Each structure stands twice: as C-alpha cells, then as structure tokens.
Amino acid sequence: MITLTDVQGQVFTWVSAGSCGFKGARKGTPFAGKQVVEVFLKKSNDYFSRCNQIKIYVSGIGPGRENALRGFDKMGQKLTLIREVTKIPHNGCRPPKKRRL
C-alpha cells in the first residue's frame, strides 16, 4: 500500500495492490509491487510537481518490496530520503501454554 500525505499527515491519494485488481496471494508478488508504483506515479503526478522534496518511509517485509522501491527511481532529484520504519518485536507476545495429553 502506498499513501501520499503532506507534512501534517493529511492523505492526498493512495493505491494498494487490491485496488489495482490483484486478489489473494498475488497481492504480495514483485509484479504487483511494480504495478502499484506505476499506478501511484500516474495518479499523483500533479502533486509531485508542486512539492520540492519527497521522503519515502518503507514498512513491512515481502517479496514485492524491492521492486516497489526500484519503481520510485523515476522520480529523480526530488527524492531526498528512503527510511526503514518496520517495527521489530522485542520478545513479542507470551507463547501459549504447552499442550497436555
């Protein structure tokens, strides 16, 4: 999912793999990631002309992630930052009790 927001966090436009027509397990493929970026760039082209710098925050893991990042190379000089914001569990939830038979 790709969302275009301003500095305050107000959403201008968004695109997801589901909105591009992918269903089920195909939403996480590299091809779907590339298609989502292409649709996003077409949909938000007029917003990019008004801004002077673009920052990308990447969250989550998956096979489509790398192709999606490569698709943003078309933006050129306005792209100033790519930052990883995936949350890392530190010990996580308590595991369930052992099964007794």
Domain assignment present for residue 19? The answer is yes
Domain assignment present for residue 100? The answer is no
Distance CA 38, CA 67 (A): 11
Domain assignment present for residue 55? The answer is yes
Distance CA 7, CA 57 (A): 13
The CATH number for 40's domain is 3.30.420.80
Domain assignment present for residue 101? The answer is no
> Total structural domains in the chain?
1
Reduced to 3 states (helix: H, G, I; strand: E, B; else coil), residue 96 is coil
Question: Is residue 77 predicted with pLDDT exceeding 80?
Answer: no
Q: What is the pTM of this model?
A: 0.77
For all residues of the chain together, what is the average pLDDT?
86
Domain assignment present for residue 38? The answer is yes
User: Whole domain around residue 33: which residue ranges?
Assistant: 2-84
Domain assignment present for residue 90? The answer is no
Instruction: Report the relative pairing of strands 2-5 and 11-15 from DSSP bridges.
Output: antiparallel
Q: What is the pLDDT of residue 46?
A: 85
> Among all chains, which residue has been given the structure tokens 């089920």?
24
Contacts of 14 (CB under 8 A, 6+ apart): 1, 2, 3, 4
Domain assignment present for residue 95? The answer is no
- pLDDT tens, position by position, 16-29: 999 999 999 898 88
Contacts of 3 (CB under 8 A, 6+ apart): 11, 13, 14
Q: What is the pLDDT of residue 19?
A: 93
Domain assignment present for residue 25? The answer is yes
